[in-house]
Each structure stands twice: as C-alpha cells, then as structure tokens.
C-alpha cells in the first residue's frame, strides 16, 4: 500500500513538479542530511539538480563550492518545458560542469513512448562530447494525485519500459532512473528487471543511501538532501570527477 502524504496540502499546478517533490511529501524526511565523515565524502563527486524553481542559477558559486555536475529539468508529461532550461543547462556547461537533463514522468497524462519523444525533442537528447550526461527518467510519488498515478504495478512497469526503450532507440544511451526505494516497492511491486540495463539515481535524505530498489546492487547517483547551500537539491556521484566524465562518454 502506498505511503500517505506527510500533510494535506493543495496539489501544485501541472508542470510545477521537480526532482524529489514526492520524496519530501511522502517519506516524511526533513531534507537535511546527517553529518558524513570526510573520509567517506572523498569517494563521491558533488552534483546538483535544478528546475524552474531555482530560476537563474549561480553556477559560478556552485563551481567554487566543489559542484562538478548538474542535471536540469527539461520537460514534464507531454506539454511542459522548463522556461529556464537554456540558462540552467548552458550555464552549468559554461562554468565547466558535466551536465544533463531530466524528465519528470507523469504516467497518467501520456504513454511512456510519447513522453520519451517529448523529452528528447525538448532538451533531453545526448551526445558523446564528454560533457553531456544521459537523460534521466524522474519517476516518483505523484504530486498531483494518486501516488502511483492510478496504475497497477504491472502497468507501471510497462510504462517505464516503454519510456526507456524509446529513449535508448532515440539516443543510443540507456536512461538513468531516478526514484526512491519505497516508491519503487509500492508502485512497481519491487520489479527487478531494470537493474542490469539502467543506472540508478536513488533519493534518500540521510547519512547513508540505505536499501536500494529491487534489481540494483549499486547506485550511480544519490540525492542526499533538498536543503543544500545555494541550490537546495544536492547529489553525489558514486565515483571521482574522472568517473563522471567517463559516464558522460558512455
């Protein structure tokens, strides 16, 4: 059974979702990470994810603080485009970051295939230039209504598969899946079939990643807080800056 929202608040207008909005609402987390020992931090590379909520981002400040990679929300559903996408996506590149784009999935408003096409056509493509990360499917608690978008677990797996297959056919890269373990368990029934084909970006605001969704034995990225300095949502890549660039190349 899906977790209940932490509070009864009006649903946002369509298009206003961002990476982690459902995690904050459903998983009763403060968004503040616990202290992490310096020797542990050394194995990660700091990143950030942004959407229209951040407007014009202070990329040089983020770079100076050690942030080396970034993801920008490009699209949602089949009708929303981030109006700040050009500044955010280009700004990250301009200061030297490796950057990529993400799509906020709304499986109740269009097929996985249609949403993958919309994403690729509006900023979610990929190139092997060594500075472009593969696209991300942000699939999490529904901020607009039913937690699993009204789909059965098998229906959700089919929807995700359709998106992933279309994205790879269009770009040649396997899309990253961003999700939380609890959402994945509830809404896909703990499906384990994507772990060998698609990198995982896991959301958990704590001092450790915790249990991973079914099918994955390791994560590529971890969203560890929604209350970081400069920009709220901060992330860690599971590897060095060189590993980030290698991941971009594919």
**Could you give the residue numbers annotated as active site?**
49, 138, 140
| CB neighbours of residue 82 within 10 Å | 25
Those residues with Cβ within 8 angstroms of residue 115's Cβ, 6 or more apart along the chain or in another chain: 75, 77, 78, 103, 105, 106, 163
Helix (H) or strand (E) holding 61: helix 59-64
CA 147 to each of CA 14, 55, 187, 248: distance values in angstroms, whole numbers, following the listed order: 15, 27, 8, 32
Report which secondary-structure segment, H or E, holds 248: helix 241-249
**Interatomic CA distance for residues 164 and 175, integer angstroms:** 6
Whole-number Å distance between alpha carbons of 160 and 16: 21
Three-state DSSP at 179 gives: strand
Radius of gyration in angstroms for the set of CA atoms belonging to the chain, rounded to a whole number: 16
Token pair listed for 157: 């797996």
b (16+ CB within 10 A) / e for 224-238: bbbebeebbbbbbbb
């Amino acid at each position: 059974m899906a977790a209940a929202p932490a509070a009864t608040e009006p649903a946002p207008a369509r298009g206003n979702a961002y990476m982690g909005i459902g995690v904050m609402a459903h998983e009763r987390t403060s968004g503040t990470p616990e202290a992490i020992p310096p020797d542990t931090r050394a194995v990660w590379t700091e990143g950030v994810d942004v959407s229209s909520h951040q407007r014009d981002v202070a990329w040089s400040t983020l770079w100076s603080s050690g942030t080396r990679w970034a993801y920008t929300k490009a699209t949602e559903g089949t009708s929303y485009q981030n109006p700040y996408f050009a500044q955010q996506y280009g700004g990250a590149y301009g200061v030297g970051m490796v950057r990529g784009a993400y799509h906020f999935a709304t499986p109740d408003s269009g097929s996985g295939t249609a949403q993958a096409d919309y994403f690729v056509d509006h900023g979610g493509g990929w190139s092997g230039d060594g500075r472009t990360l593969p696209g991300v499917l942000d699939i999490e608690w529904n901020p607009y209504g039913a937690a699993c978008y009204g789909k059965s677990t098998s229906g959700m797996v089919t929807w995700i598969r359709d998106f992933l297959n279309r994205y790879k056919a269009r770009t040649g890269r396997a899309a990253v899946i961003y999700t939380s373990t609890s959402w994945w368990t509830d809404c896909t029934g703990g499906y384990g079939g994507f772990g060998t084909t698609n990198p995982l970006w896991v959301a958990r605001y704590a001092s450790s990643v915790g249990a991973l969704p079914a099918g994955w034995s390791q994560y590529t990225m971890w969203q560890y807080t929604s209350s970081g300095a400069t920009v709220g949502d901060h992330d860690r890549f599971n590897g060095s800056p060189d590993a980030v660039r290698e991941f971009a190349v594919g």
